[in-house]
Structure 1
């Protein structure tokens, strides 16, 4: 029986964590105790005549969403970065800020837009900018709509008002695009969360852009809405989307939309949640003392930690895209009817229909994808991982254990390729899987190359539970080749080694 003191401390941890998580959900998802100022007027006209008027007429008649703040209050800033300058401020209203700048019309232009509560000084935007400039001589523009140091303005207003403000920000970016001396096809807008929908508005204001990348487009007040008010594949010549946070959390939908929104929609790790995101919170709850009296500093630290954890899934899209810019690892994703089929190894053969998630998705714009694309990533940086399918055929008549029929069975593998050797891989045969063939998807930090041999072993289980293995088939990265390994009823704890055979060979 659990000691009363330990039980009380554990309950306190859970209670405080729950309160903090609910507070962060309010901050992240927009359930704000002080909603935006509402008005009965039908429209508001911006002091900048280029932007025009904004109304509550359909389709912008969403309940509770007010009219946007003025462009003066939002204070959008455009920061230009090139390989030849650290930053320059430019603006569509001042042509003299553009013409003498280092902006080059013969270069591709990347426009990065943040979401709720962020600003252009945030780490992910600058990290992405740096990686892009390392890759090529681009014009990179960071858009800051955080309210220009004003409280409760721009992206730092309550969520409802920030949603309304996306219309103004999108219009301003659209005006900037029209003022830039560059072909619209060379414009690529990268938007996270609310920034993804801002990209949609900007593209429509500019009439055309070459590409939009949506990084987990925001769900609250956008999901299942008409495409006029959310990111959609008609907004650019090519639209690619990464979904990382669609899973409901404590009864509230994930921060990212479930709506497929692009020509290619990627769903890493199923798109609902991301591996590794709960580790910081678990560590904190296990190691941090819960004070009997909650001090302000303790609360602030816990709030910041929990905010990072709760928003971790949502923010993973930024990190995956940034990591993909460097071609050292290709995030190859596989089209499949659903995530469960993918996990069971049913979709690992590309047949020319796979695509690289992230920056290089544009290389696959000629392919018409009818299915969602899935990939498994690593729980820690670097997230990039190579995916392999493993099929285990059990020995007929010997795969069931009469003494412990409901017990799971575990084996370990190590895969040897001509380019790298895998880490130890643990595979567990669940009792729910009734077929004699067991399918798994495993990941490797490195490209193993041509697979030459594998080692297999089992723990010295005190219950004597064994997994009788007949053959193991491994489908290589992108499904280009199947490697077969014969074990002929192996069921020992000693390590066994088998060399790769042609898949046509009988064991």
Structure 2
């Protein structure tokens, strides 16, 4: 009996250490161990457990466009019995901090993807781990990235998935989740970061943020990268991919409220631009120097690119600028 109470006391003691970020490492089975030692000291918290984060993967295809199949790496039959087809492109769509019950942009994006082609579209729902104290959610992104990586291993083992056909699209903290997944397997074909979250990531070590080494092709859309009043943005300002797009200069998007009050609108606009890019318009973008937006309206020697889904169709690399309309349809060409 004494031993039992000693064990309970130890569990409470360890839990308190975890809760307040005092521990240096925690391990979660096949996902491995997570530390807040440098360079992972961008946040003092350690990630919560997979059970607390509660990540759910929902698969949609043209055979089930409205009701997602819940697929689970620990239950291979849930994958084998689904409509997953390794011959199709596999797209993971990842939300960010404090999502609503139904993230409409994810639904809109899934519908546009399935209109464009028959894909495996997988929603990464980590709502429980993405709600609440921001810095705890930042810590949780690493576990969600590890869960995506583990699911990819299962899909490879049981379904013959080739990771070069995998595409991760993440908004805000979801973009940083994608970066963690790619850090574990940089053979992933593509990652698109939709205004990646800045707080606790801006100017941090590439090991703890989305970066060009996280996939074979990484493109980033910056829409809330610092307003004219505070110069502080919800979205990351620095170059993060092989191609970085700064529509309207990367902040204060047309049609959004004035700075500060409009930052959330600016931040969300990245998802709207991307959804529109899939089937409606290529968003032709022009090579530019970061922050030097005047006169960036020709393709020059570098060549133009296309902001959004069709970015991979251009060989041009670097920083790109374009202007948009103030309301949908946003694309000018």
Please state which band the TM-score falls in when normalised by the shorter chain. 0.7 to 0.9
Gaps of 5+ in 2: 1-17
Residues 50/119 of structure 1: CA separation in 2 closer, same or farther (3 Å cut): farther
Query: What's the TM-score once normalised by structure 2's chain length?
Result: 0.88
- Counterpart residue number, 1:61: 41
Q: How many angstroms does 1:168 deviate by?
A: 0.7
- Tell me what 1:381 maps to: 328
* 1:127 alignment partner, SS class: helix
- Alignment match, 2:288: 336
TM-score normalised by structure 1 residue count: 0.59
Equivalent of 2:185, from 185, 195, 206?
A: 206
Q: Is 1:133 the equivalent of 2:114? A: yes
Other-structure match for 1:117 = 98
* Superposition pairs of residues 448-487 of structure 1, within 5 angstroms: none
Asked if 2 retains the 8 angstrom alpha-carbon contact of 1:120 and 1:142, the reply is no
Structure 1 unaligned regions, length at least 5: 1-35, 148-153, 282-305, 387-507
Aligned length: 310
2:311 matched to which residue of 1?
A: 361
- The yes-or-no answer on 1:185 pairing with 2:185 is no
The match for 1:501 is: none
- The answer as to whether partners of 2:186 and 2:213 remain within 8 angstroms in 1 is no
Q: How far did residue 250 of structure 1 move?
A: 5.8
1:78 counterpart residue number: 57
Output one character per residue of 1:117-154: Cα deviation in whole Å (capped at 9) or x when no partner. 0157210000000000000000000000011xxxxxx0
Aligned-pair RMSD on alpha carbons?
2.0
Inter-CA distance 119–101: structure 2 relative to 1 (3 Å threshold): farther
Match of 1:498 in 2: none
Q: Where does residue 135 of structure 2 map in the other structure? A: 160
CA distance in 2, matches of 1:112, 1:120: 15
Over 3 Å counting, the alpha-carbon distance change for 1:376 and 1:259 in structure 2 is same
Counterpart in 2 of 1:416?
Answer: none
Q: Is the 2:249–2:291 contact (alpha carbons within 8 Å) kept by the matching residues of 1?
A: yes
Looking at structure 1, the residues matched to 170 and 187 of structure 2 have their Cα atoms a distance apart, in angstroms, of: 16
**1:185 and 1:208 in contact (8 A); partners too:** yes
Per chain length, whose mean CA-contact separation is higher, i.e. which structure has more relative contact order (CA < 8 Å, sep 6+)?
Answer: 2
Deviation, 1:69, is: 0.7
SS state at 2:249 partner: coil
Q: CA deviation at 1:158?
A: 0.6
Alignment match, 1:169 = 144
Alignment partner, residue 467 of structure 1: none
Match of 1:213, SS state, is strand
Deviation string for 1:195-235 (max 9, x for gaps)?
Answer: 11100111222352000000001110000001000000010
Q: Whose helix proportion is higher, 1 or 2?
A: 2
Partner residue in 2 for 1:219: 198
Higher strand proportion (structure 1 or 2): 1
Residue of structure 1 equivalent to 2:84: 103
2:247 alignment counterpart: 268
Contact 1:108 1:138 in 2 (8 A): yes
CA distance 1:373–1:207, shift in 2 (3 Å) = closer
Indicate conservation of the 8 Å contact 1:175/1:206, yes or no: no
Summarize the Cα distance change of 1:124–1:101 in structure 2 as closer, same or farther, 3 Å threshold.
same
- Change over 3 Å in CA distance of 1:41–1:263 after alignment to 2: same
Asked if 1 retains the 8 angstrom alpha-carbon contact of 2:224 and 2:234, the reply is: yes
